[in-house]
Structure 1
Amino acid sequence: MAAPITADQWVAALRAEGVTDIVEMPGWRTHNRNGVGAWGDVHATMVHHTAGEGSGLADWCYNGNSDLPGPLCHDFLARTGRLYLVGNGRANHAGKVARNAYEAVLNEQSVHPAPGPDELDGNAVSYGMECENSGEAGRDWPKAQYDVAVRVQAARCRFHGWSANSIWAHKESTTRKPLDPRIDMDQFRRDVAERLAHSASWNPTDSTPEEEDMTPEERKLLTDTAAAVKRIEAGMTVKPWTYKGKGETRDAYAHLLDIGRGVKGLSATGLTPAQSDALAKKVADIIAARLQA
């Protein structure tokens, strides 16, 4: 269970995550739909596209219309990378969502299933970010916009102690929005997970001295090995486990046993024993250096 973040906490979390171009819309701190429906506890954070581009979108997200009053999201992200803070509390963004889709983010599952029938109130349990994009095939997300989108969702997850698997797209929550947004959400979650593996002040161009010492061949071996582990986990009978810092030792032990049974599959990488040993030593050295830092 997670109580919603406060307005002051949200601004601080964004700035800590490196989001600096922020517009606080007038009254956003108390702008919500709390009077007409539940808000919290929260368990997820959703990504949308606006399905249109141009000036006035921030106001549209704030005001909504007679059929769907605002706020229509918590945050609106322009193509320039400028973030508008729109609402704080319940917002009209998700609508009804599928139970299986909600349970996937609630349980931080790495696989997000095709949504079933709409059953639950998504507005009560999820934050929402609207990103300026037409939604047309081939329409890009500018680098600055995508970078801020990753930072915004990382800030939500970092504050609540969530993994990147607490992020979902509107298209993953309901069959009503099959293209919203038209980006690879698995890659998006991987990019957020990469941020969460570092401090909030980290930038993608940053690297540690240990990482710089790795040769291209060693980096490739590490990537290939990680891919092999992912294939092993995909075939496990026990779903991949994410540590939540709650002393869940028995669950962790079961997960490690399951990984152990699948380690034979690492031969699929084509690594020789000598290469595996060298790679393991390199990774161990990096971990040891970071623990001593």
Structure 2
Amino acid sequence: MSTPLTAAALVAALKAEGVTVVEHTGWRTHNRNSKGAWGPVNGVMIHHTVTSGTDASVTLCYDGRSDLPGPLCHGVIAKDGTVYLVGNGRANHAGSGDADVLAAVVAERTTLPAPNQQNTDGNTHFYGFECINLGDGKDPWPDAQLDAIARTAAAICRAHGWSAASVIGHKEWTSAKIDPRGFTMPSLRTRVETLLGKKPTPSTPTYQPFPGAAWFKQEPKSAIVTAMGKRLVAAGCSAYATGPGPQWTDADRNSYAKWQRKLGYTGTDADGWPGATSWAALKVPYTSGT
């Protein structure tokens, strides 16, 4: 068992493992700690969202529902492998599960008992990551997403000195759940074990991951803005008199609004503020700049 990682330590661990991280506004203080214990922690639990769309899924996992307040996990893993951090502390993701399963995770046994009890609070003991997938057995799991799931789990295991046996699926915690569906947990643990067997090898994405809607509204000065502007010009959506340059301006927003309209968006959906779907379609080349 271990003391939970601080927000800064979690981000550092994920990035060191090659995970692309987007920090949702307010995630570092967003938790359910007032409702119960957070820690000691013993493992990482993987879920699927039963949703589609990055923005909607991240918002749901941050806000929660009327019957289940957020955060609903610590991070949301998108189809493109980007990890959106939405909570730091106790999260409503695991619910009640089997004490025998927890004992097996603590002992890092390679074989888990079948869950047949709901007598232990999993929200105390597990980091939780929701992975965007409909969970119908048909929705595909892109390799970029599976790689990010494995890297996320490996990052936390490495930080705590755990083995891959510390990574479980929600369905392995309680018989009341079926997630994740579409890949096997043994195959994921094999990926995690492979990663833990060597030094972290950060991967470089081909395209720039979506920095998050809030990032643009801070009017950033970044090489990412320049790269975005160049793509907008190439797509025939320029509203620039000069540039584009690294400082976010009204010209960037007006250019992006043209891009949104080109994709078929109207009204407030074409207001010039980037969203995850339109950003993915723009295919902004990856830059190491900030």
**What TM-score, normalized to structure 2?**
0.68
Q: Which residue of 1 aligns with 2:48?
A: 49
Given that 1:72 and 1:91 are in contact with CA atoms closer than 8 Å, whether structure 2 keeps it comes out as yes
Q: Which runs of 5+ in 1 are unaligned?
A: 204-293
- 1:228-256: CA deviation from partner (whole Å, max 9, x where unpaired): xxxxxxxxxxxxxxxxxxxxxxxxxxxxx
Kindly report structure 1 stretches of 4+ aligned residues shifted beyond 2 Å: 178-182
Question: How far is 1:116 from its partner?
Answer: 1.4
Given that 1:17 and 1:152 are in contact with CA atoms closer than 8 Å, whether structure 2 keeps it comes out as yes
In the alignment, is residue 196 of structure 1 matched against residue 218 of structure 2? Answer: no
Q: Which residue of 1 aligns with 2:170?
A: 170
Q: Which residue of 2 aligns with 1:40?
A: 39
Q: Which amino acid aligns with 2:78?
A: A
Q: Which residue of 2 aligns with 1:132?
A: 132
Q: Which runs of 5+ in 2 are unaligned?
A: 204-290
Equivalent positions of 1:6-45 (< 5 A) are: 6-20=6-20, 22-45=21-44
Q: Which residue of 1 aligns with 2:206?
A: none
Q: Which amino acid aligns with 1:74?
A: H
Supply the distance in 2 between the matched residues of 1:146 and 1:153 (Cα, whole angstroms): 11
Q: Which amino acid aligns with 1:137?
A: G
Identity among equivalent positions (%) equals 49
Given that 1:169 and 1:181 are in contact with CA atoms closer than 8 Å, whether structure 2 keeps it comes out as no
Structure with the bigger percentage of helix: 1
- 1:79-116: CA deviation from partner (whole Å, max 9, x where unpaired): 12111001000000000011121112111110022101
Q: Which amino acid aligns with 1:177?
A: K
Equivalent positions of 1:115-130 (< 5 A) are: 115-130=115-130
- 1:177-210: CA deviation from partner (whole Å, max 9, x where unpaired): 034333210011011000000001266xxxxxxx
Q: Which amino acid aligns with 1:89?
A: G
- 1:87-146: CA deviation from partner (whole Å, max 9, x where unpaired): 000000000011121112111110022101110000001000000001112322101111
Supply the distance in 2 between the matched residues of 1:124 and 1:82 (Cα, whole angstroms): 25
Q: Secondary structure at the match of 2:119?
A: strand
Supply the distance in 1 between the matched residues of 2:202 and 2:81 (Cα, whole angstroms): 18
Question: How far is 1:167 from its partner?
Answer: 0.5
Supply the distance in 2 between the matched residues of 1:88 and 1:179 (Cα, whole angstroms): 22
Q: Which amino acid aligns with 2:45?
A: M
Q: Which residue of 1 aligns with 2:157?
A: 157
Given that 1:47 and 1:181 are in contact with CA atoms closer than 8 Å, whether structure 2 keeps it comes out as no
Supply the distance in 1 between the matched residues of 2:169 and 2:91 (Cα, whole angstroms): 16
Q: Which amino acid aligns with 1:175?
A: S
Q: Which residue of 2 aligns with 1:78?
A: 78
Q: Secondary structure at the match of 1:178?
A: coil
**What TM-score, normalized to structure 1?**
0.67
Q: Which amino acid aligns with 1:173?
A: W
Q: Which amino acid aligns with 1:159?
A: A
Q: Secondary structure at the match of 1:4?
A: coil
Q: Secondary structure at the match of 1:53?
A: coil
Count, aligned residues: 202
Equivalent positions of 1:1-293 (< 5 A) are: 1-20=1-20, 22-54=21-53, 55-201=55-201
Given that 2:105 and 2:166 are in contact with CA atoms closer than 8 Å, whether structure 1 keeps it comes out as yes
Q: Which residue of 1 aligns with 2:219?
A: none
Given that 1:99 and 1:116 are in contact with CA atoms closer than 8 Å, whether structure 2 keeps it comes out as no
Q: Which residue of 2 aligns with 1:253?
A: none
- The alignment yields a C-alpha RMSD, in angstroms, of 1.2
Supply the distance in 2 between the matched residues of 1:99 and 1:128 (Cα, whole angstroms): 17
Supply the distance in 2 between the matched residues of 1:11 and 1:140 (Cα, whole angstroms): 27
Given that 2:2 and 2:42 are in contact with CA atoms closer than 8 Å, whether structure 1 keeps it comes out as yes
Supply the distance in 2 between the matched residues of 1:83 and 1:202 (Cα, whole angstroms): 14
Supply the distance in 2 between the matched residues of 1:48 and 1:28 (Cα, whole angstroms): 19
